[in-house]
């Protein structure tokens, strides 16, 4: 894996030893593009697949998210 760069432009050895996850604001409609741009080792999602009550997960959104993420990460 290439050495990861932080905003200072310096290499961060801690990031280059392990993969990294992309998180924050992801949902089924943007995860594929986000992965293609950022090239993370994995993704994390929570509210992007929440149902109308904001607590329980919407199974259709979860399935769509997983499908899009798998396609982009493969």
What span, in angstroms and rounded, lies between the C-alpha atoms of 68 and 70? 6
Could you report how far apart the first and last alpha carbons of the chain are, in Å? Answer: 16
pLDDT digits (tens, 9 = 90+) for 11-58: 666 556 678 999 999 999 999 999 999 999 999 999 999 999 999 999
Residue 22: its H or E element = strand 21-22
Residues 6+ apart with CB under 8 A from 34: 22, 26, 43
- Tell me, what's the pLDDT at 22? 95
Residue 70's CB is within 10 A of a number of other CB atoms, namely 13
DSSP assigned state of 50? B
pLDDT digits (tens, 9 = 90+) for 47-74: 999 999 999 999 999 999 999 999 998 8
């Amino acid at each position: 894996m290439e050495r990861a760069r932080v905003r200072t432009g310096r290499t961060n050895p801690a990031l280059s030893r392990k993969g990294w996850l992309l998180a924050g604001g992801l949902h089924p409609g943007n995860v594929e593009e986000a992965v293609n741009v950022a090239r993370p080792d994995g993704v994390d999602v929570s509210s992007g697949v929440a149902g109308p009550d904001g607590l329980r997960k919407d199974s259709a959104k979860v399935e769509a998210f997983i499908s899009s993420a798998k396609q982009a990460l493969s």
